[in-house]
Amino acid sequence: SLPPVIAIDGPSASGKGTLAAIVAKTLGWHQLDSGMLYRLSALAVLKKNIQSDNEAEIAKVARNLNVCFVGQQVLLDNDDVSDVLRTEEVGALASRIAAYPLLRQALFERQLAFRKAPGLVADGRDMGTVIFPDAKLKIFLIADVNERAQRRYKQLIEKGISANLVSLLDDLKARDERDMHRSHAPLVPAKDAIIIDSSTLSIEESVAKVLAYWSAVN
């Protein structure tokens, strides 16, 4: 039988990436940051100067991504792109092209391949609904949009990157709109997902909740 999956979906900056990383580490499981694949596709599109409305060409680029994960580093065509992947420019384009069904299809198999023993913690927007509908535990992590903007603001300032709280808030709202209202694989909780609101939870408290739910279903 297939290795177990814990799916963690939710909006941008809800803390699902950090949560998924700690849960995976605690259980000794593999991790899939699916947003990274959309960001890698966006970066490849920028590098190859492909028009953002050329769906077929974008899907082709995604299918042929030459990507390599070395520890915490991500290599695209042998260049370390770990930092550039996190930029707003790449994130914004990723969010726009993620609406294309052909791109989502191109990344489908690549995501399934992360499912390896002893288990996988996968985070994104459609892990529990589309990619791993048989996940044993599905978490939908939400947080108040103002709280999410504050968190992202703090992260950027701590990294020495200048940021504007109002534009971060606008950007998050626009991204939520796009992710929730696209026709293909929109951001919605799976019917059997457990909704966790992390607005007033520390990361440790969110981790403890997920691990407790995992023990309960296991």
Q: Exposure of 15 by Cβ count < 10 A (0-12 exposed, 13-18 middle, 19+ buried)?
A: buried
Show the site string, 156-175: x = touches ligand C5P by CB under 6 A, - = not.
-------------------x
- Residue placing its CB nearer to ligand C5P in the complex, 124 or 218: 124
Residues 6 or more apart from 158 whose CB is under 8 A from it? none
Q: Nearest 5°: phi and psi at 116?
A: -135, 155
The answer to whether residues 41 and 58 touch, using CB atoms and an 8 Å cutoff, is yes
**Closest distance to ligand C5P from the beta carbon of 47 (Å):** 17
Task: Candidates 30-38, 43-51, 52-60, 195-203: pick the segment binding ligand C5P (CB under 6 A).
Answer: 30-38
Q: Minimal distance in Å, beta carbon 175 to ligand C5P? A: 5
Instruction: Give, in order, the Cα–Cα distances in Å from 101 to each of 59, 123, 126, 156, 207.
Output: 9, 19, 13, 32, 32
Out of 7, 23, 74, 94, the only residue in the binding site for ligand C5P (CB under 6 A) is 94
Residues 119-158 that bind ligand C5P (CB under 6 A): 124-126
Q: Exposure string (b/e) for 93-127, b if CB count within 10 Å is 16 or more?
A: bbbbbbbbebbbebbeebbeebbeeebbbbbbbbb
129 assigned to a ligand binding site: no
Nearer to ligand C5P, 170 or 215 (CB): 170
Is the CB of 15 or the CB of 35 nearer to ligand C5P? 35
Q: Which stretch binds ligand C5P (CB under 6 A): 73-81, 88-96, 140-148, 165-173?
A: 88-96
Task: Record the tokens describing residue 102, joined without a space.
Answer: 């052909």
Q: What's the rounded Cα separation, in Å, for the pair 140 and 124?
A: 10
Interacting stretch for ligand C5P, rule CB under 6 A, among 19-27, 35-43, 66-74, 163-171? 35-43
Q: What are the b/e assignments for 133-144, b being 16+ CB within 10 Å?
A: eebebbbbbbbe
Q: Rule CB under 6 A: is residue 12 a binding residue for ligand C5P?
A: yes
Stretch that binds ligand C5P, among 22-30, 56-64, 92-100, 200-208 (CB under 6 A): 92-100
Beta bridge partners of 141: 196
* 91 binds ligand C5P per the rule CB under 6 A: yes
Residues belonging to the binding site are 10-18
Q: Which residues bind ligand C5P (CB under 6 A)?
A: 12, 34-35, 38-39, 91, 94-95, 98, 124-126, 175, 179
Residues belonging to the binding site for ATP are 10-18
